[in-house]
Structure 1
Amino acid sequence: MGPVPAWLPLERRVLSGDVPLGDLPAWLGVDRALGAWWAWHQSGAPVLVADAGTALSLTRVSAEGCFAGGQLLAGAALQLRALGAGTAGLPGLELPVALPQQRWPSATAEAMAAGVLRGLAAAMAQAAREAVAEAPCCRLWITGGDGELLLPLVRELLAEGDLQVQPAPALVLEALAALRPDPGR
């Protein structure tokens, strides 16, 4: 999440401490706090929120609505740029519009995209399995700019389980609107 615009008055700004999520560490970003709180608030159950953007943040919330930890990984675009910048002979890529059709592409760019996207989906699916092992009724919420791209892969990986996967592309904005419903506030 970028910097807060200077024109936004201090009294209108939402800070992490304004989010009613228990055991919230002071260092947690307001976007993660908002998304985690709103997913839990709507679920009424433990949640794991996967926010797939520049970073993939995985944020757990307990059944009681308390922050329960998380994990962070480089997001898809960041991984693709790192591969191009840090490896001889690999191109610098922008995030693909769609997942390559083949599981094992022979073209370099498609192989990079398939590996990064499938790797992120696998990380999300594994984190969800681990969260469910600790809280059996945990639900996975997927949001963020790359969420829609990763959702089918995650669902494919979790197809045999009972884990509920909830797509929520506007999760943080919905949370912000719920927390501050009066625009004059």
Structure 2
Amino acid sequence: MKRALVFFLLILMMAPLVIADDNGEENEYEAGYGGLAALGVGLIAAGVVYYSLTKRKLVIVHKKSSEWGFEIRPEHPYMTIFGPVYPLTIHHVLTITGTLLVFVHFFSCDNYAGLTGGTGLAMGIVLVLLNLNGFIGRYIHGKVLLAAKKHDRKMAKKFVGILGHWKKVHIALAVLFAILLAIHLATGD
């Protein structure tokens, strides 16, 4: 119930941005709601960066706590963030929300001709694949945790191997998205 409420509140907060972006210009080769797309890509990037930094403990350490908070230290790692959810959950929320915002921009385009439109269409497809792949990864990760909980080494080894292959595909899709985004931004107005 809490998740649905948070999602609904997020939609309500974004409504003024969507309404404000409608400037009345009609061009079939130009998609609207570029501000939402930029915000969505920013959320996706924040989710990826936060998860990467906390997973490798390069700059940030995330500790499970009942309340949110942070602590900055001069020694390594430089920041400790406390929170009731894990970094992977934060990654999922930010990337899924970012994808939904990007799709508002994506669906406002009437014509995907040309390099800009083609890369936009390709990015939309890659985002769908990335999100589906992410849900598959979450399932595999759950199987690894279940096997560890049951002390089933054979099953854990099997799913850790599958998770390794999944990770390569997920990273390749993310790199492809970044390349397409760079081309899309370079060729757009």
- Answer 1 or 2: which has greater strand percent: 1
The higher radius of gyration belongs to 2
- Answer 1 or 2: which has greater helix percent: 2
The answer, yes or no, to whether TM exceeds 0.5 is no
TM range (shorter): 0.3 to 0.5
Q: TM-score, normalised by structure 2?
A: 0.32
Q: TM-score, normalised by structure 1?
A: 0.32
